[in-house]
Amino acid sequence: EPWEDPSTSPIDFSTCLEKFDEAMLASTYWLCIFAVNEHFSICGDCWDCREGKEWSPRMFKADPCIGGCKKAKFNPCKCGSQKHAAGDAAYEIDKFDQVVERMEALVVSLDPELATLTRVWVLAEVAIALRGKPVRFRIAEGLEPRKASALRQGQSIVTPVQECEASSADDRKRIIDQIEQDGGCKAFDAYVGSMVGLGLGSCVFLGRAASQEALKALRGVGDVEISLVWCPDADLAQLGFGEAHLGKLAGIRSLSVQMPGCDRIQNLQLLFQDVAKLSTLEGCAFNLKE
Ligand SMILES: [Zn+2]
Ligand SMILES: [Zn+2]
């Protein structure tokens, strides 16, 4: 959806393509928001009434629902397409792990309030990608000041996965069941919370991760980015650096630290001390400019 007033957009779309080099433009980008055909997945569906049954096009087209509940449809649509079922080869919603295998990296585009991190799908996809690919968190419109201050104070910024939302209760249940099988929701929260926190510049959450399952997951992370731009004048002691928490990333090979505009950061040596102890690290980059 276009911005109502393009002049208020934080991104200048008319010139942004010119900023990228040819290699970047020649790369393939898989955009989650466009790449799943929702007409074969969720449109016109009612998660209360259909319960996996075959529906006629008329049932999918109807809004409000005529399957029993009479409620307004969550994603009303006139197409009436048949939906593929979970587990079906053509079902597009449960294939994210296969997509990730083909990707070089995952970029998670966050909103200023971090409401993105209250969606069960988003956290699940982040956790899957973290197992083998670089995950980068970006906030094009900047971090909302209250969230930035929560981050600095070490208050949790990622919603516990069991309190997260999903449009479909079935999806939510399937994801949570899988997480329970893979090590449990508590370990999942510690793992994802640590990595999101680190991505946004804080080591505090990583410091708190203590369960065997969480530590095991953290040992599987190979490529890490720490962006200090959301706390550009913070004291790194307050953000949990200098206590060797990074050592929990026992399989880390590559680290990049983003710090443009961070010339007022205090106690930067704490970060260097932590990095110097990472025996598996093969490469480390500090980016001082955009
Ligand atoms: Zn449709
Ligand atoms: Zn219904």
pLDDT in tens, 218-262: 999 999 999 999 999 999 999 999 999 999 999 999 999 999 999
Same domain, 54 and 102: no
| Burial track 171-197 (b if 16+ CB lie within 10 A, e otherwise) | bbebbbeebeeebebebbbbbbbbbbb
* CA of residue 97 to ligand 1 center, whole Å: 25
| pLDDT over threshold 60, residue 125 | yes
* CA of residue 110 to ligand 2 center, whole Å: 32
* CA of residue 80 to ligand 1 center, whole Å: 6
Residue 27 lies in a domain: no
Same domain, 105 and 63: no
Tell which of 85, 109, 124 closes a domain: 85
**Which ligand is nearest the CA of 37, by number?**
1
Same domain, 111 and 238: yes
Tell which of 20, 54, 85 closes a domain: 85
Residue 18 lies in a domain: no
- At residue 1, the pLDDT reads 43
The C-alpha atoms of residue 138 and residue 194 are separated, in whole angstroms, by: 16
Residue 3 lies in a domain: no
pLDDT tens for each residue of 198-219: 999 999 999 999 999 999 999 9
- Domains: count for the chain: 2
Same domain, 71 and 123: no
Same domain, 282 and 185: yes
Same domain, 102 and 81: no
pLDDT tens for each residue of 264-273: 999 999 999 9
The C-alpha atoms of residue 265 and residue 157 are separated, in whole angstroms, by: 21
CB 166 within 8 A of CB 120: yes
* CA of residue 75 to ligand 1 center, whole Å: 8
Q: Are strands 106-109 and 135-138 parallel, antiparallel or unpaired?
A: parallel
Residue 168: pLDDT band with limits 50, 70, 90: confident
Domain that holds residue 134: 95-287
Residue 24 lies in a domain: no
| 168: number of Cβ within 10 Å | 19
The C-alpha atoms of residue 201 and residue 283 are separated, in whole angstroms, by: 19
Tokens 């990049």 belong to 256
Same domain, 45 and 109: no
How many whole angstroms from its chain centre is CA 142? Answer: 16
Range with the poorest average pLDDT among 10-14, 20-24, 216-220: 10-14
Give phi and psi for 119, each to the nearest 5. -100, 130
Number of helices (H), then strands (E), in the chain:
12, 5
Same domain, 50 and 179: no
* Torsional sign, CA 222, 201, 209, 111: negative
* CA of residue 45 to ligand 2 center, whole Å: 8
pLDDT cut 90: percent of the chain above it: 71
* CA of residue 42 to ligand 1 center, whole Å: 8
Same domain, 100 and 171: yes
* CA of residue 35 to ligand 1 center, whole Å: 15
Residue 62 lies in a domain: yes
Tell which of 60, 85, 110 closes a domain: 85
Q: Average pLDDT for residues 76-88, to the nearest whole number?
A: 90
Residue 28 lies in a domain: no
Amino acid found at 124: A
Which residues, in sequence order, are CB contacts of 98 under 8 Å at separation 6+?
A: none
E-assigned strand segments in the chain:
106-109, 135-138, 223-227, 254-258, 283-287
Residue 154 lies in a domain: yes
- At residue 285, the pLDDT reads 96
Same domain, 220 and 99: yes
| pLDDT over threshold 60, residue 60 | yes
* CA of residue 180 to ligand 2 center, whole Å: 29
Q: Average pLDDT for residues 95-121, to the nearest whole number?
A: 92
* CA of residue 40 to ligand 1 center, whole Å: 7
* CA of residue 63 to ligand 1 center, whole Å: 12
* CA of residue 197 to ligand 2 center, whole Å: 39
- At residue 7, the pLDDT reads 58
Same domain, 66 and 126: no
| pLDDT over threshold 90, residue 101 | no
As a whole number, the mean pLDDT across the chain is 91
Q: What are the C-alpha distances in Å from 52 to residues 18, 31, 46, 268?
A: 47, 28, 10, 55
| 3: number of Cβ within 10 Å | 11
Residue 4: pLDDT band with limits 50, 70, 90: low
Same domain, 258 and 130: yes
| pLDDT over threshold 50, residue 188 | yes
Residue 1 lies in a domain: no
